[in-house]
Amino acid sequence: MALERTLSIIKPDAVAKNVIGPIYSRFEQGGLKIIAAKMVQLSRAEAEGFYAVHRERPFFNALVEFMISGPVMVQVLEGEGAVLKNRDLMGATNPKEAAAGTIRADFADSIDANAVHGSDSLENAAIEIAYFFPATAVYAGR
Ligand code: RTP
Ligand code: MG
């Protein structure tokens, strides 16, 4: 497996629930290193741009409204096979279907308020990291 980077977002529901710390522990216990992070309040345009691939989906407006409903915590995670590893730690999109012990099983309320976002491919990870972080903002001094 290769060393990869992926983009993670702790969504407004989980920030409001005060569970950034426990979610960060899941990443770290899963072997992922947080190499950049910032808390941001997304504008509507930023949320729409970030989720542009879903523009035609019926849930798009609800997704954007939710993502701008409060601050989010955005981070770059690095580790062996980080993209899939993070998706495994997150669990299924719908928390009702998420495996026990996953972030969504433990911290998400619904398919809309589902605690975390994670890049779904290495290609999208590079696009999403660049969307939020200039290269100089990512810690590279391992
Ligand atoms: P994410 O992008 O946030 O990491 O979530 P995901 O890959 O697991 O799911 P994705 O298919 O990319 O969908 C993005 C977000 O849209 C909401 N969604 N709602 N009502 C629905 O059928 C539905 N499907 C997706 C979820 O909040 C999902 O995280
Ligand atoms: Mg997705």
pLDDT digits (tens, 9 = 90+) for 90-110: 999 999 999 999 999 999 999
What the block records as the tokens of 114 is 């589902």
Residue owning the nearest CA to atom 21 of ligand 1: 59
pLDDT digits (tens, 9 = 90+) for 29-48: 999 999 999 999 999 999 99
Question: Do residues 74 and 4 touch, judged by C-beta distance below 8 A?
Answer: no
ipTM, interface predicted TM-score of the complex: 0.95
73-35-85-4 Cα dihedral, nearest 10 degrees: 130
Q: What is the structure's pLDDT at 55?
A: 96
The alpha carbon of 52 and the centre of ligand 1 are apart by a number of angstroms equal to: 12
Q: How confident is the model at residue 21 (pLDDT cuts 50, 70, 90)?
A: very high
Q: Which residue has the tokens 């409204």?
A: 65
Residue owning the nearest CA to atom 3 of ligand 1: 117
